[in-house]
Structures are given as structure tokens and as C-alpha cells.
Structure 1
């Protein structure tokens, strides 16, 4: 059975990106599990790169452990991220940085576990779709590192509160997003 993990990376509760994600999630069949985690509620420390010193990372603890467990339990990971300065929000970047550590935790099996997951991105941007490309491509490249399938991206406009659901084309695309 599929289990969707929605990782909300917005600095605003209930913002355009989250609204768009919740609209899209309505298309997930009821028998499938969904988990919603706001990354801001699980703050991570800045990543320290030990690859060239110890080369090994300890078992994650605290918020890192919570996020790792949720990641490993999911079949589908949905990045819910507004475009911030043409890039991912800080909370999502710190989560992605943790992947470097989790790859090097003995007996964790992170790489193998990630290979079988499906990945999705739901984003909003106040700019043009071309201006969102760097962020979207960054996420795609992170996913491709594991050879995991990237299922698609849903991009809406989010200049003012509520904008993401005002566009009937985007709203329709949201309703069909998870039907792949």
C-alpha cells in the first residue's frame, strides 16, 4: 500500500503551496495513508560534512530521527516547497543535507530504501515558471542521485494569499496530480 509523506517547507502556515498540496492530496484514494510534516516543526542543525574526517555518521537522534523514520516509512515523498530566491527554502535544504549523513550511517540502508520511493514536487512561485526551474531542477537532481522515479511537479502562482487556487488550470491539474 502506498504511503505519502508530505514535507511542507514553507515558512507560512496554510500558504499557497500548502493549499495547492492539500487540493492535490484530495485525489489520493482514501485507503492510502498520508503523513503531513511541517519541516519548521522539526528544526535541524546545520549540516557538518565528516566525509573526509571520520567518514561515518552516528545514528540520527531527535528531529533528524523523526524525519528519517518518516522518510523510510513512506513510499512516496512529496516536497511541498515555495520557490524562495530561485531555490528551495532553508528547512528543505537542511533536510536534503541530512541525506548526506544518512547515506553514511552504518547498517541504515538509506540508499537502498530511497531507490524504491516515488518523488513529487508541489511548488508555488511569485515569478514565471522559468524562474522556478532552478529549484525544481535541484530537487530532480537530488532524487536522480538514488535512481528513484520522479513522478512530476505541480507549479502554481503564489503572489498573494489564495492565489494558487484561483487559477482554474492549476486547480484542475492539482485534482489529477496523483493519478499516475
Structure 2
């Protein structure tokens, strides 16, 4: 089973990345750090005569990860009550990717790729982060992706996620579930 974690924080060793590390401890996976990729914002040409045009950036790495993963984990800090801007840019570009003639199998593949959300915020995130989870649910519904699970952690300063016992317990449970599925 192939698992990819899209790490959407702009901070090194962020709380959201630490939560992903906890979920994926002992499980083979790959991390894609969105902050290290050159992903251009979407130029929406869906309804124009010429349609979407090729964009020379690193987004093909995202597409390749989506095409080769059985589970994808969207890992993001909660910024202004939503996902990080680099995560949102990645998601926005899916409009282009599912129409990209170079990857005709992508839309169908996404229908069998399970999604997990890991989010960490500092202002009552377990309540105020729920609209973001709903936003992801709508995205997954649109793409017909199975939505496996989500965890919202509470932390602000670097390393504070280690104090959120509820999120860490949920992460351990999810880790055990994933290990059982892949026989690790």
C-alpha cells in the first residue's frame, strides 16, 4: 500500500508535520513538502476556447503521487480557519489536473484513493476547524474520493502538539488501523 503525505506547512518541523509523523510512525510512506515545490496558482481557462495550458512547474510531482498512492494525507496548519495557502493552491490546481490530457487516468484513480486530513490550529481548532473539514469533504465528494478520517489537533507554538493528548491518541489509533491494513 502506497501512502503519500502532502505537508502543507510553511514551517520546518511544524505541529501538523509532527502529527503526520505520529500517524505514520513505522509505516512506509513518502512526504511531499509543498513549501519546497514550485506550484503556480491556477489560471482558470476551463471555459475558454484554448482551455487549460501546460504549466512548467512542479505540479506533476503532485499528480504522480496521486496516481501511485492508495492513501493520501492532507496535512495542514489551520490558517485563518482554513487550510494553508500552499495547500489551497495544490487543491485549486486539481481543476486543471483532472482535465490534463497527459494524465487521462487521474480522475478515475482518485475515486479509489482514500483521503485523510490532519490539521493543527491554535484558536479552538476542534470547533473552528470543522468548516475546513467540511470543505475537504466537499472536495472529496466532487472528486468521488473516499474520505477515510480526520484529526484536528490544538497547538500554536512549535512542538505544542505533543501536549494535545486527544489528538495524539487519535493519531495512535489511526496508526494502528493503517498498520493493520498493510500488515506492518
On whether the aligned pair clears a TM of 0.5, the verdict is: yes
Q: What's the counterpart of residue 10 of structure 1? A: 9
**For residues 33-81 of structure 1, what are the alpha-carbon distances to aligned partners after superposition, in whole Å with 9 as ceiling and x for unaligned?**
4110110111211211111103643556430111111121111110010
Using the alignment, how far apart are the partners of 1:111 and 1:56 within structure 2?
A: 17
Using the alignment, how far apart are the partners of 2:134 and 2:9 within structure 1?
A: 18
RMSD: 1.7
Contact 1:154 1:177 in 2 (8 A): no
- Of 165, 168, 171, the residue aligned with 1:171 is 168
Aligned residues: 175
Structure 1-normalised TM-score?
Answer: 0.90
Structure 2-normalised TM-score?
Answer: 0.88
Contact 1:27 1:176 in 2 (8 A): no
- Of 108, 114, 134, the residue aligned with 1:112 is 108
Instruction: Please list every run of 5 or more consecutive structure 2 residues that lacks an aligned counterpart in the other structure.
Output: 179-184
Given the superposition, is the C-alpha separation of residues 173 and 86 from structure 1 closer, same or farther in structure 2, using an over 3 Å criterion? same
**For residues 15-36 of structure 1, what are the alpha-carbon distances to aligned partners after superposition, in whole Å with 9 as ceiling and x for unaligned?**
11111110111163xxxx4110
Using the alignment, how far apart are the partners of 2:57 and 2:157 within structure 1?
A: 35
Partner of 1:43, secondary structure, is coil
- Of 46, 63, 79, the residue aligned with 1:84 is 79
Contact 1:55 1:104 in 2 (8 A): no
Instruction: Please list every run of 5 or more consecutive structure 1 residues that lacks an aligned counterpart in the other structure.
Output: none
Higher RCO, Cα 8 Å, sep 6+: 1
Using the alignment, how far apart are the partners of 1:148 and 1:167 within structure 2?
A: 29
Partner of 1:70, secondary structure, is helix
Using the alignment, how far apart are the partners of 1:122 and 1:50 within structure 2?
A: 31
State the Cα distance separating 1:168 from its structure 2 match.
2.3
Given the alignment of the two structures, is residue 145 of structure 1 paired with residue 142 of structure 2, yes or no? yes
